[in-house]
A = this chain, B = another copy of it.
Amino acid sequence: MVKLIALYRMPADVEAFEQHYTHIHIPLVEKIPGIRKTEWTRFLASPQGAAPYYMMYEMYFDSKESYQAAMKSEENKIAGQDLLSFAKDIVTLMVAETYEDEIRR
Taking CB atoms and an 8 Å cut-off, the chain A residues in 2-51 that contact chain B are 2-3, 5, 30, 33, 35-48, 51
State the interface size on chain A (CB cutoff 8 A). Answer: 37
CA–CA, A25 and B67, complex, Å: 31
Task: Count the copies.
Answer: 2
CB contact under 8 A between A98 and B36, given known A48-B93, A103-B30:
no
* A 58-90 binary contact with B (CB < 8 Å = 1; else 0): 000000000000010000000000000000000
CA–CA, A3 and B41, complex, Å: 9
A5, A41, A99 pick with most chain B CB within 10 angstroms: A41
Q: Which residues of B are found within 8 Å of A56, using beta-carbon distances?
A: 96
Q: Is the CB of A42 within 8 A of B95?
A: no
Q: Is the CB of A40 within 8 A of B94?
A: no
Distance (whole angstroms) from the CB of A92 to the closest CB of chain B? 6
Q: Is the CB of A95 within 8 A of B41?
A: no
